[in-house]
Amino acid sequence: MIVSDLVIIGGGASGFMGAITAINKGLDSVVVLEGSSKVLEKVRISGGGRCNLTNSCWDISNLVKNYPRGEKQLIGLFNRFSTVEAFDWFQKKGLILKIEKDGRVFPRSDSSEDVIKCLTAVAKSSGVKIFTNSHVKKIEKKINGFNLLAKGNNYFKAKNILICTGSHPSGRRLAKSLGHSIIHPVPSLFSLSTTENSLKSCSGVTLNAHVELTVNKKKFAETGSILITHKGFSGPVVLRLSAFSARNLYLNKYQGELRINWLCMSENEVRNKLDLYKLENGKKVVINNKPFQDLPRGLWRALLLSLNIDSKLKWADLSKSQKYLIVKCLITKKYLINSRGPYGEEFVTAGGVSLDEINFKTMESKICKGLFFAGEVLNIDGITGGFNFQHCWTSGWVAGNAISVK
Ligand SMILES: Cc1cc2nc3c(=O)[nH]c(=O)nc-3n(C[C@H](O)[C@H](O)[C@H](O)COP(=O)(O)OP(=O)(O)OC[C@H]3O[C@@H](n4cnc5c(N)ncnc54)[C@H](O)[C@@H]3O)c2cc1C
């Protein structure tokens, strides 16, 4: 049996940060038990193989707004270890980072392998013992610590344990066995599918729009880049909406109503533009000539065809009622959402260990002394942009730090 100060269950982002912090702050023996044959697999596949490991959103009050669940709890955590500290931490460990125009932070090499190399090298040189193929099946609370049973009938003993099992159901099961309540896990960060097929010809088109999603009479609104797909809608603004409405959509079987203002303009602005254009371009065909430069030609055509506007109609002959229909279609077009589309490039689980049962100064359980949590196993998740890894670095760091001074 291996005996240590700390056993970390799960060799992912939060587990590694917890292990490195705890040992570097003075713990004698730290063990990481990873169930699969490789550590940091999610880091490897993240960000399309580039690993978007944090974001240059340095302001904590803005940063927490990127977390549909956990916003309140993260304020205190980020005050101790935030995006600035994470950026600095990796650079000091020799991983050179770069910030992209939209604020996302990647390794300068654009390779997630370099993040893995950095974390595993620092962990090993600090003395962290890593065991792969060591799925933890059972944890028993003892007077002075815990006994753990891992795959292959291997036993471990630890004064403290840190559960970092991500979205894997086994972590939630272990937490439950030690007395914790679990908020039912549901997917977050996905695209939306619609029954309507009038936009099929625009598949692949991206533009800025104001989007409102109504589910169960609750409205979620965002402005940003939207992508028309062959089945519906995706892109950053839709993924963000899906995250903030994840539970509502789940409860409503992914049915809702999406209203899109394709121009991000008011009704008056659109009407005035149409009137002026009509005056100056009376002889031109409506469907082939549009007053809005930024609106893709294919989308203009598709929207007008969905209104049954004659493909030969000239601007001079556009009636008042047709103009009214066009205005409404451009600024409040409704699409019925009938299901969840495939995930975006990044996806996470909303739900997990209930936040009421955690002391956020230390990440220790309020129910079971010596038991700590970090990362996605908790009911905390962010939108795309590096926010999910940031939460892992932060909670792993806070937990590792707290365990080392116990
Ligand atoms: C395709 C994809 C791309 C992503 N891209 C990004 C991105 O670019 N930026 C970003 O911020 N976020 C991204 N995310 C989200 C991010 O990967 C996760 O939020 C993050 O990895 C969670 O880290 P974690 O340490 O909590 O858990 P994980 O990284 O999931 O690690 C948990 C580990 O625990 C192990 N484990 C589970 N149960 C047991 C057990 N009983 N015993 C032993 N080991 C166990 C698992 O095998 C796993 O290795 C992406 C997610 C996906 C799926």
Supply the residue whose CA is at minimum distance from atom 17 of ligand 1.
Answer: 42
Query: Using one digit for the tens of pLDDT, what is the confidence trace for 26-42?
Result: 999 999 999 999 999 99
pLDDT band at 136 (very low <50, low <70, confident <90, very high): very high
pLDDT attached to residue 406: 79
CA distances from 168 to 164, 185, 247, 256, 375 (A): 10, 10, 19, 29, 11
Q: So what's the pLDDT on residue 356?
A: 98
- The number of the ligand 1 atom at minimal distance from the alpha carbon of 10 is 34
Whether the per-residue pLDDT at 54 is higher than 90: the answer is yes
Total Cβ atoms within 10 A of residue 117: 15
The chain-wide mean pLDDT, for the chain, equals 95
- Looking at the DSSP bridge assignments, the partners of residue 337 are 194, 256
Pocket test for ligand 1, best of 168, 189, 395 (most atoms within 8 A of CB): 168
Going by alpha carbons, the residue nearest to atom 6 of ligand 1 is 46
Can you give the pTM of this predicted structure?
0.94
| Any atom of ligand 1 within 6 Å of the Cβ of 376 | yes
pLDDT higher than threshold 80 for residue 345: no
Judge if the beta carbon of residue 36 lies within 6 A of ligand 1.
yes
pLDDT tens for each residue of 306-325: 999 999 999 999 999 999 99
User: Given the DSSP bridges, would you call strands 30-33 and 333-353 parallel, antiparallel or unpaired?
Assistant: unpaired
pLDDT surpassing 80 at residue 344:
no
- pLDDT grade for 346, boundaries at 50, 70 and 90: low
Whether the pLDDT of residue 338 is over 60: the answer is yes
Distance between Cα 210 and ligand 1 center (Å) = 32
Give the model's pLDDT for residue 184. Answer: 96
Domains of the chain listed by start with CATH number = 2-181+354-404 (3.50.50.60), 189-347 (no CATH)
Judge if the beta carbon of residue 346 lies within 6 A of ligand 1: yes
Q: Pick the closest to residue 20 from 75, 86, 66, 65 (CA basis).
A: 86
Q: What is the DSSP string of 64-96?
A: GGG-TBTHHHHHHHHTTS-HHHHHHHHHHTT--
Tell me the sheet residues that pair with 2: 156
Q: Which residue has the tokens 């982002």?
A: 13
Q: How far apart are CA 306 and CA 232, in angstroms?
A: 15
Closest residue to atom 8 of ligand 1, CA basis: 47
Q: Whose CA is nearest to atom 5 of ligand 1?
A: 46
Number of residues in the chain: 406
